[in-house]
Amino acid sequence: MSLPAIGVVIPCYKAEHTLRQTVESVLQGAPDNLQLVLVEDGSPDGTGALCDALAAQNPRVTALHQPNGGASAARNAGLDTLCRSGAEWVLFVDADDTLLPGLWQALPSAFDAQPGLILYGMVRASGPAPNPLAPGCYAGPAALGDALDPLLFESGYLAAPYPKLFRLDVIRRNKLRFDPRLKINEDVLFNLQYLRFLLFLQKNSAIYCLAGVYYNQNDMLAGSLSRSLRGDLLDAEAVTRPVLEAFLTDAKLPAPEIDRLVQISRVRAALNQYGLLTGCPGRMPFAQRRQLFARILQDADARAALRARLTADPNRLLALPYRLGVFLHSAWLLAAYTQLKNRFL
């Protein structure tokens, strides 16, 4: 099997129980010229030693070590290494996820089309993750049509750093990296910036979608977005929104469609933040809770979406405090109720 030189970057933190399986899944059936970069991100457990052991067992594996800086810093360290090498493509894998068999064998047909981005299907531990894009080659982001909306928002296919392959020459030329200042949406920002750069390529700007499912995401961990209390979703969306709007404008989408997609981005962030505040246990200062609820309620579109959701909630008694808070525009009531609920229930 002859493939272009491909690099794989795995950020590794507290991954001593999952990393070996992840690495084995990447190497299974992989080409001889594969470069697998493990970036140990200051992990306090045995992850660093495991990275070294895995690198010693296979010449295709390189282990890097750095002080803890987060997933973005770790991915950037891997990109720095690959950009200095002869690698032509890169894909990212999380240390608790796995590649499914068949990816390396499916890639030649995609490379024959000389695309700028390659997508493939994934499954999640929490449930199905259908790819909204039909298999085939698309002339560029503007050619994605009706699939662009679910690719960006509902499915997460263009939000996460996986399941996809990026061209390293595009990353090198534009000095593209993940923003380590962001703890969430850093991958969304990276993807949007990459897609914008594809728009300005004279050739090789196509997006190719493979037919198979080749990525298994473990999203059932306690630290995943849907299971941990945090308060930065609105700020993160505010950072990525201008880049999203610029990408959609550069893709020459009609103004009403741009407005619609930007609105979806804003409202989804508000609904997700509301969901964390109302559904996730954890400590958060009352003033911060109230401020976040106030920001959500100030958005008329988000408020309307919440009203519709709460009106349709079959658990009317349990939803009553939330309905009162939203319908009365009372951030104080929502903050007080959720704080008391987390403390006593």
Whether residue 174 sits in one domain with residue 273: no
Query: Which of 185, 205, 221 represents a domain boundary (last residue)?
Result: 221
Whether residue 249 sits in one domain with residue 216: no
Whether residue 208 sits in one domain with residue 330: no
Residue 17 domain-assigned (yes or no): yes
Whether residue 234 sits in one domain with residue 210: no
For residue 46, what are the domain limits? Answer: 6-221
Alpha-carbon gap, residue 281 to 36, rounded angstroms: 37
Whether residue 245 sits in one domain with residue 149: no
Whether residue 310 sits in one domain with residue 240: yes
Whether residue 311 sits in one domain with residue 179: no
Question: Per the structure, how many domains does the chain have?
Answer: 2
Residue 1 domain-assigned (yes or no): no
Whether residue 317 sits in one domain with residue 252: yes
Whether residue 231 sits in one domain with residue 214: no
Looking at residue 76, which CATH number applies to its domain?
A: 3.90.550.10
Residue 140 domain-assigned (yes or no): yes
Tens-binned pLDDT, residue by residue, of the chain (345 aa):
589 999 999 999 999 999 999 999 999 999 999 999 999 999 999 999 999 999 999 999 999 999 999 999 999 999 999 999 989 999 999 999 999 999 999 999 999 999 999 999 999 988 878 888 999 999 887 788 889 989 998 888 888 999 999 999 999 999 999 999 998 999 999 999 999 999 887 677 899 999 999 999 998 764 444 457 999 999 999 999 999 999 999 988 999 999 999 999 999 999 999 999 999 988 999 999 999 999 999 999 999 999 999 999 898 888 899 999 999 999 999 999 999 988 876
Residue 231 domain-assigned (yes or no): yes
Whether residue 217 sits in one domain with residue 141: yes
